[in-house]
Structure 1
Amino acid sequence: MQDAPEHGDEDTTTIHEARLWRDNGWTAKVIKNEDDDGWAVAMIKDGEPEPALVGQWTMGRDKKNPKPLDVAAFHTLVKTASEVLRRHEQQLHAMYHKRATVTADGQKIDVTLDIVPDEDDPHGVLSAHDAYGECLAQVRVAPTFKLNGTTAAAWVADGFRKPG
């Protein structure tokens, strides 16, 4: 009998069973849906503690047991779970990285806010770059700082002094 991998270890054994399919960095597990008489499938990316996707799974012909996993279903599930992860990453990026462009003295200035969601020391980094990408200024701000055209223009007009 093989020991279960410890947390953080990745079991890369390929498995193709009716209710468990592991391949190409993903594991699909068909599980009993506790909320009703049906079945669910959980898609887990190797190395991740939580499923990226949990969804309903089709009943088999006997209307009691789940339909077995197969290569086509697994590939569809991998594609769907990968898309869920990609959207989540995009949402996090949009939440933690903001950008505004202002014009000062006829010069276009890109102002960015990067939030560092550190558990012990959350903060933001406000930066200004000219049209050539040269850093004009950078200051640390509260993680609650709201970047928009008005706040960016005010920061530039104030000589890049730390806001608030």
Structure 2
Amino acid sequence: MNQSDDGSERAAIHEARVWRDNGWTAQVIKNEDDDGWAVAMTPDGQAEPALVGPWTMGRDKKNPKPLDTSAFNTLVKTAAEFVRRHEQQLHAALHQRIEIDHGGARVSVTLDIEPDEEHPLAMLRAVDARGELLAEASVSPAFRLTRASAGAWAEAGFGPPAAR
């Protein structure tokens, strides 16, 4: 049994075209782009699949190959890795860090973006090698943190940064 978001138990399903177990549901679907088949991998609690990929035709060359334990486990591993990489990319885009030299010392400049559909926020910070906060400024979430923009901010005395 799997546990759903509301804490209730979800029964495992092991059918030829639908397999649910270990927090994932694999569903074999007709590929809308051609005559083949696709498999959609959806994490429990999500409405949309995290990954959709091609699925193998069966021996009759008309119907899909049935799902089985081995195929499902491989699909779960692939989909989980895809989700993990996506989360890492999102984290990297929202939390950037650059090291610069300023005043003969190493300074770490970070840009942290808080995504929000109505009021996104971004904070630029400069920290010295000891971890002491040198400066902090609110910037547009569209601010591009580069060595040049971080250096320009430092050279301007860490005042309000110019939009880039």
Is the shorter-chain TM-score for this pair beyond 0.5, marking a shared fold? yes
In structure 2, the residue matched to 1:144 is: 142
How many angstroms apart in 2 are the aligned matches of 1:65 and 1:145?
Answer: 51
Q: Does 1:156 align with 2:154?
A: yes
Instruction: Trace 1:27-66 onto structure 2 (pairs within 5 A).
Output: 27-66=25-64
Name the amino acid aligned to 1:140: S
Q: Give unpaired runs (5+ residues) of structure 1.
A: none
The verdict on how the C-alpha distance between 1:23 and 1:152 changes in structure 2, with shifts beyond 3 A counting, is same
Which of 80, 102, 122 is 1:82 aligned to? 80
| Greater displacement, 48-57 / 92-101 | 92-101
Instruction: Trace 1:97-116 onto structure 2 (pairs within 5 A).
Output: 97-116=95-114
**Kept in 2: contact 1:12–1:25 (CA 8 A):** no
The verdict on how the C-alpha distance between 1:11 and 1:59 changes in structure 2, with shifts beyond 3 A counting, is farther
TM-score, normalization by structure 2: 0.88
In structure 2, the residue matched to 1:131 is: 129
TM-score, normalization by structure 1: 0.88
Name the amino acid aligned to 1:59: M
Q: Deviations over 1:111-130 (max 9, x none)?
A: 00112221111231101111
Q: In the TM superposition, what is the alpha-carbon distance from 1:35 to its structure 2 partner?
A: 2.4
Name the amino acid aligned to 2:86: H
The verdict on how the C-alpha distance between 1:59 and 1:11 changes in structure 2, with shifts beyond 3 A counting, is farther
Q: Deviations over 1:85-112 (max 9, x none)?
A: 1221122122222211112222211000
CA RMSD, 1 decimal: 1.8
Which of 13, 16, 31 is 2:14 aligned to? 16
For this pair of structures, how many residues does the alignment match?
158
3-state SS in 1 of match to 2:33: coil
3-state SS in 2 of match to 1:50: coil
State the identity %: 62
3-state SS in 2 of match to 1:129: strand
